[in-house]
Structure 1
Amino acid sequence: MTISTTVQNVFDAGLPTLTYDLAATPADVWPSLQDAQRAAPIAIGPLGPEVLSYEMARAILRDTRFKIPPGINLAAQGVTSGPLFDKVMSGLLCLEGAEHQRLRKLVSKAFTPRATDRLQGTIVEVVSDLADRVADAGRCDVVADIARPYPIPIICALLGAPREDWRLFSEWAEEVIRGFSFSTDIAAIQDEVMRAWLELDDYVDAMVEHRRAHLTDDLLSDLIRAEDDGDRLTKAELKMLAASLLMAGTDTTRNQLAASVQALCAQPDQWALLADQPDLAMRAVDETMRLSPVVCGTPRIVPTDMEFGGFLFPANTFVFVNILAANRDPAVYADAGRLDLEREGAPAILTFSGGVHYCLGANLARRELAEALRILAARWSNPRCRGDVPWKPMLGLTGPTVLELEFDA
């Protein structure tokens, strides 16, 4: 590809500079992001160029020339080899090109709307039970009492694991997810993470062997059935996908549910509107994930010199697609800082990424969040926060660490 000699290097273009601390929360960073967004579609952040414009962010997510840096969470802490690194690198998110396309094509045959629909009863049962447990008290910590225990039973039901094993899956998920945190000393916990991951693999191995002889109506059976011109998923791929689903579908849902509840509670009129009009639940998911996403950005790397959006990105440039800023871009969202469940004609949020790496579980995640918000809004009148709501850093998976609420039953 020929690079135009008139295109300016992104680092020499006089773009706004962002100097936030890497441990800063979304609320800490937003004022400076907003100022930078008013001045330019890109800013130079502490890790490299940050894309702030909705249109440019969406274009990058769909442009296969921009690659996901493999094993970035581990590499950021100097872990670039070993069993855990190899395990992470075999995951769907770290694959590119033909192999990634092949796996997504097979998996998409199982990840259908029907797979989500058959979980409806479980979703309603689980969130109703959690709400019942705190109803009499008229108060709860949404993070600990609702969000944290919510997704595991649903993921287990999706895979077809029996109820008596939900606790095991919860323990494995807690341990393995630690290996994907920017704030954890990963080098020190590699052995514990791998031990839990291998136990999960052994469990899934046994499930796969049983399912091959006794196919049922669950996702694991659908994955075993999935075929494309004679191509099928291998046992290793089935294990990888089951583990990926458990990890991707657990912490994201937990954090986003708490963040969405907080966002709605901050605007009592919108909470009351959802209680009065439960059909707005999916709109509530989109609006809260737009305004208060727990995935605030996604990294990309430029393998070679590349011209994009009127700038030259030198080879090996680390690019941060800032989802938080893009989702609040006033160029595409009217009154972008306002939560509005009746917003019409808004473009799709970027919180589920885009292009070839668009989240395979987006439909399930949206259904889980919508049902939880619908049921909580119906049961909790006039919810209000008790005290501060601390958040995790913006970089990595963020969200409230505590969300103490009082409500009228």
Structure 2
Amino acid sequence: MTDSATSVFEADLPTLDYGLTDPPQQIYPQFRAAQQAAPVALGPIGPEILSYEMARTVLRDPRFVIPPGIHLSAHGITSGPLWDRVTRSILNMEGDEHRRLRGLVSRAFTPRATARMHDTIGTVINELIDDATARRSCEFVGDIARPYPIPIICALLGAPREEWQQFSRWAEDIFKIVSFDCDLAAEEPVVLAAWDEFDAYIDTMIAQRRRQLTDDLLSELIRIEDSGDRLNAAEVRMLAFSILLAGTDTTRSQLAASMQVLCEHPEQWALLRDQPELAMRAVEETMRHSPSMCSTVRSAGQDITLGELTFPAGTFIVVNTYAANRDATVYDDPERFDITRAAPPPILTFGGGVHYCLGANLARLELSEALKILAARVPDARCVGEVPWKPLLGLSGPVRLPMELCR
């Protein structure tokens, strides 16, 4: 700590007083007030970064690391087979091994490679809309958002269509890892059994691709090589698991959140209908204004001083991207929802630095195509009834979203 810096725990910082089950909209007035006083506030589980510039700095600074097995620790699981498998995934890695894997995998996640999914995305969302419009109403979360990403991930990996339901069942069990709605210690055997089945299936696919490469992500992961370095079968399997875990619930929750805010602003929904070229801007603005992923966590790997504040080694930090994406010093009129914003600063919802989301291009394509097609096919869609949200911490977003579809 420098002579002029003060520990975040000793500085006169604003205090946030909210419950761990409170949704983001309920807490936002506290964030806004605290943000006007300081870039950091003390929240219920530790310092929260509120300013855009400091949040971006922390996300890019490798001295701030992802705490290993953070969701498992919340359930009291700090060792054992599930702990070992989760903490060895790329989602929890740091240092040289992480840089090596990201360097190799990024070659398979180019915009060109992602664009190959365009037709599959259109087919999946149109089939879901067909079912909903036949009833002229739907519960958007369960009827459209929830089933949407799994068939796309399966197609991305190269699994045949008839296996999509099996992938969905595996995903439901494996996702208990990141859920706070179950007794994970009791469910651990169920999670491990589903994970074993998923791994065995992927191993069979890898063996098939090594005999005959095709045009899918697994084949790309097998093909990629950098100065003689290649991924082994265990690494390809682990990456397939990470793609399933990171790319499913996030897309589901954000699609529902984006749909809600667009329908609550009918003039913006009409703009998207009439100008489908605004779809990608709509994704950026809905993820800025109404993100389902509202925060990410870091831990100070050593004493770290930023400006006049020092974060002692081991400090658990919440990077509050929900607040940062509404920082009035960076975004003009940040509470205004406007899909025509011209060249706004990049959102922080996908993270930053060495942990920037590898699947960001795919997520943007999935969301933009879904919203564009929905706006064209159900231009008079509207929300009806209450739309409760999950808590700010973890993965938020609507629990349910009842809608009327007038076409």
Q: What TM bracket, shorter-length normalisation?
A: over 0.9
Output the amino acid matched with 1:136: A
Equivalent position of 1:71 in the other structure: 69
Equivalent position of 2:356 in the other structure: 358
CA distance in 1, matches of 2:83, 2:299: 19
SS of the aligned residue for 1:337 comes to coil
Asked if the contact 2:4/2:308 (under 8 Å) is kept, the reply is no
**TM-fit CA distance, 1:95:** 0.7
Output the amino acid matched with 2:396: T
Residue of structure 1 aligned with 2:26, choices 28, 37, 49: 28
Residue 298 of structure 2 corresponds to residue 270 of structure 1: no
Asked if the contact 1:179/1:189 (under 8 Å) is kept, the reply is no
Equivalent position of 2:127 in the other structure: 129
Output the amino acid matched with 2:386: D
Equivalent residue runs for 1:250-265 within 5 Å: 250-265=248-263
Equivalent position of 1:40 in the other structure: 38
Equivalent position of 1:221 in the other structure: 219
**TM-fit CA distance, 1:312:** 1.2
CA distance in 2, matches of 1:184, 1:244: 21
CA distance in 1, matches of 2:156, 2:379: 31
Return 306-315 or 329-338, whichever deviates more.
Answer: 306-315
Equivalent position of 1:391 in the other structure: 389
CA distance in 2, matches of 1:193, 1:277: 44
SS of the aligned residue for 1:50 comes to strand
SS of the aligned residue for 1:381 comes to coil
Output the amino acid matched with 1:83: P
Query: % of aligned pairs identical?
Result: 59
Deviations 1:249-271 (A, max 9, x none): 11000000000000101110000
SS of the aligned residue for 1:39 comes to coil
Equivalent position of 2:82 in the other structure: 84
CA distance in 1, matches of 2:300, 2:133: 51
Residue of structure 2 aligned with 1:283, choices 277, 281, 285: 281
Asked if the contact 2:5/2:307 (under 8 Å) is kept, the reply is no
Deviations 1:94-150 (A, max 9, x none): 110100000001101111122211111100011011111111322111101110110
CA distance in 2, matches of 1:309, 1:251: 36
Output the amino acid matched with 1:170: S
Equivalent position of 1:400 in the other structure: 398
**TM-fit CA distance, 1:218:** 0.5
Equivalent position of 2:136 in the other structure: 138
SS of the aligned residue for 2:35 comes to helix
Residue 16 of structure 2 corresponds to residue 18 of structure 1: yes
Output the amino acid matched with 1:216: T
Residue 306 of structure 2 corresponds to residue 308 of structure 1: yes
RMSD over aligned CA atoms reads: 0.9
Equivalent position of 1:100 in the other structure: 98
Asked if the contact 1:56/1:309 (under 8 Å) is kept, the reply is no
**TM-fit CA distance, 1:4:** 1.1
Deviations 1:282-324 (A, max 9, x none): 0000000001111110111012222113201112111100010
SS of the aligned residue for 2:191 comes to helix
**TM-fit CA distance, 1:47:** 0.8
Residue 121 of structure 2 corresponds to residue 162 of structure 1: no
Unaligned runs of 5+ in 1: none
SS of the aligned residue for 1:109 comes to helix
Deviations 1:225-261 (A, max 9, x none): 0111111111111110001101111100000000000
CA distance in 1, matches of 2:296, 2:325: 13
CA distance in 1, matches of 2:394, 2:62: 22
Equivalent position of 2:375 in the other structure: 377
With the length of structure 2 as denominator, give the TM-score of the two structures.
0.99
Deviations 1:24-61 (A, max 9, x none): 11111111111111111110001111000001000100
Post-superposition, which runs of at least 4 consecutive aligned residues in structure 1 deviate over 6 A?
none
Asked if the contact 2:49/2:319 (under 8 Å) is kept, the reply is yes
CA distance in 1, matches of 2:245, 2:314: 29
Asked if the contact 1:143/1:400 (under 8 Å) is kept, the reply is yes
SS of the aligned residue for 2:30 comes to helix
Asked if the contact 1:332/1:347 (under 8 Å) is kept, the reply is yes
Asked if the contact 1:387/1:404 (under 8 Å) is kept, the reply is yes
Deviations 1:333-381 (A, max 9, x none): 0010111111012100000000000000000000000000000011112
CA distance in 2, matches of 1:57, 1:173: 31
Output the amino acid matched with 2:240: A
Equivalent position of 1:245 in the other structure: 243
Kindly tell me the number of residue pairs found equivalent between the two proteins: 407
